[in-house]
Amino acid sequence: ETGVTQSPTHLIKTRGQQVTLRCSSQSGHNTVSWYQQALGQGPQFIFQYYREEENGRGNFPPRFSGLQFPNYSSELNVNALELDDSALYLCASSSGKRQGLKNAGELFFGEGSRLTVL
């Protein structure tokens, strides 16, 4: 069973540029969520994808967008980068079968992509 993998692990961009981060979900999982974790803070929910559709979004502007592919892998795109976008971006996969149940399932995280905006 393969875990959640993310790429790249580190990257440096300048203000105004665009970035694409990639994630492969854990085997058997069809739901992918993206979180932003600033230094010293807990992860903040960006959005979730289930069966290639965005089905939940946190308080992030539209310049944060995403995609999910038929193989359940996902991309996070951020346009017009700002200094405050510097953070660890975490991808988490889970089983979509649990979404409709009373008890929510756990998230399984990748190692993250560390983005630095200069």
Partner 1 sequence: EDQVTQSPEALRLQEGESSSLNCSYTVSGLRGLFWYRQDPGKGPEFLFTLYSAGEEKEKERLKATLTKKESFLHITAPKPEDSATYLCAVRGNSGTYKYIFGTGTRLKVLA
User: Interface with partner 1 by CB under 8 A: which residues?
Assistant: 4, 6, 33, 35, 40-45, 48, 55-58, 88, 90, 99, 102-112, 114
Minimal distance, residue 56 CB to partner 1, in Å: 4
CB of 18 or CB of 27, closer to partner 1: 27
CB of 18 or CB of 55, closer to partner 1: 55
Q: Measuring CA to CA, which residue among 57, 55, 65, 63 is closest to residue 30?
A: 55
Integer Cα distance of 16 and 13 in angstroms:
9
Q: Measuring CA to CA, which residue among 113, 111, 116 is closest to residue 75?
A: 113
Minimal distance, residue 77 CB to partner 1, in Å: 19
3-state secondary structure of 61: coil
Q: What are phi and psi of 16, to 5 degrees?
A: 95, -20
CB of 19 or CB of 32, closer to partner 1: 32
Integer Cα distance of 95 and 116 in angstroms:
31
Minimal distance, residue 16 CB to partner 1, in Å: 26
CB of 35 or CB of 72, closer to partner 1: 35
